[in-house]
Amino acid sequence: MAEKEKSLTMGKLTFRVQRYEPTRDEKTYLQEFVIPFTKGMTVLDGLNYIKEKLDNTLAFRVSCRMGICGSCGMLINNFPCLACHITVEELGKDVIEIKSLPNYGIIKDLVPDLTPLFEKHKSIRPYIVRSDSEEMEEPTAEYTQSPQALEEYLQFSFCVKCGLCLAACPTSATDVLFLGPQSLAQAYRYCADSRDEGMRERTAIVDSGHGVWLCHLAGACSEACPKGVDPALAIQLLKRTVLAQTLRLQKKKEASPIAPPPVEEKPKLPVPEFTAKPS
């Protein structure tokens, strides 16, 4: 511990960054940068420093720099993380190896090709599907939902599509066609939604050769998830739902109805005097 503190306060960090320029390179290589350490800095701060001061050709994705957008997923010291989410002190090493996310293509340097992730996500119909297609396309009102029904899927709806789970998943390491933890978890998120009626359509997609049954519960996706979404749990619950549906054990439940129009108009609250001053 003391040694770690010492090495970090020495003030110098070595970033070994994976480089790949598609027009020039055949394969990737690591380039070393030495950058100053400042207290509380994230790995992303280091990359920004490199881009600003040392090498402006370095390419990486970044947007919100606060763990909300999910753009800066990278393989940091051999573990998929959001670069903005992990501080240098947390890593506890002064040599930090940063690579593009595995199990995707590399477009340039640290920019992975996330197209397969989005394609797979789209393929499981990640929206509320209703049997009444007219109401679905041209909604007249919202659907009702109790707070208890919300709890069923709320955790899984925090997914930011950063793609770290596919980088962690051992099945995705070889199987390009495997739907992956992200889209399977989202399939469960919509199937568990009390407003949704698309279970049957999604089962047809998910219960296929490269679908939900290629998950072997390694749990790496949940370990890597930066938003606590727990895809592994969602996939196991999806397996149970799919199996129950196949065996017709599932209790038939009605999807929640359209919210009825308000019966009585509530009187509008008067504007408090201290905010609105008539001029």
Partner 1 sequence: MNAMEVKKKPLKNYLGIWGWVWAGRYNVERYLYTLQRVTGLGIILYGILHLTINGFRISGEGLWEDTMSLFENPVFAVGEYLVIAAFIIHALNGLRLILQQLGYTLGAPKPPIYPYSHALQRRRPIVLAMGALGAILLLLVLIDFVV
Partner 2 sequence: MRQSYFRLLQLITGVAVFFLIAVHITALRLDDFAGGLGVHIEEPTSWGSVMDRATSAGWASFYIILLAVAIYHALYGLRGVLMELPWPPVIARSLNYIMIGIGIVVFGYGSFIALNAYYS
Calpha distance 87→181 (Å, rounded): 26
The window from 57-65, 147-155, 159-167, 204-212 that contacts partner 2 (CB under 8 A) reads 204-212
- Total residue length of the chain: 279
Q: Helices 180-191 and 231-246 sit at what angle, rounded to 10 degrees?
A: 60
CA 194 to chain centre: 23
Site membership for partner 1, residue 28 (CB under 8 A) = yes
Structure tokens at 150: 């919300």
CA 163 → CA 19, 81, 135, 231, distances in Å?
Answer: 20, 10, 33, 12
Q: Binding mask 241-260 vs partner 2 (x if CB under 8 A, - otherwise)? A: -xx--xx-------------
158 contacts partner 1 (rule: CB under 8 A): yes
For position 36 contacting partner 1 by CB under 8 A, the verdict is no
At its nearest, how many Å lie between partner 2 and the CB of residue 168?
15
152 binds partner 1 (CB under 8 A): yes
Shortest Cβ distance from residue 244 to partner 2 (Å)? 9
Backbone torsions φ then ψ of 65, nearest 5 degrees: 45, 35
- Measured N-to-C along each axis, helices 199-206 and 231-246 cross at an angle, to the nearest 10 degrees, of 100
DSSP codes of every residue in 130-198: -S-HHHHHS-SSPBP--HHHHHTTGGGGG-----HHHHH-TTTTT-SS--HHHHHHHHHHHHT-TT---
Which span (53-61, 80-88, 201-209, 226-234) binds partner 2, by CB under 8 A? 201-209
Quick one: which of 4, 5, 10, 22 contacts partner 1 (CB under 8 A)?
22
Contact 53, 108 (CB under 8 A): no
User: Which of positions 83-112 make contact with partner 2 (CB under 8 A)?
Assistant: none
* Binding range to partner 2, per CB under 8 A, among 108-116, 159-167, 183-191, 212-220: 212-220
C-beta closer to partner 1: residue 60 or 104: 104
Nearest distance from residue 100's CB to partner 2, in Å?
20
Q: Check residue 218 for interaction with partner 2 (CB under 8 A).
A: no
Where does this chain bind partner 1 (CB under 8 A)? 20, 22-23, 27-28, 77-79, 100-107, 112-113, 151-156, 158, 168, 170, 173-174, 176, 215-220, 222-223, 225, 227-230, 232-234, 236-237, 239-240, 243
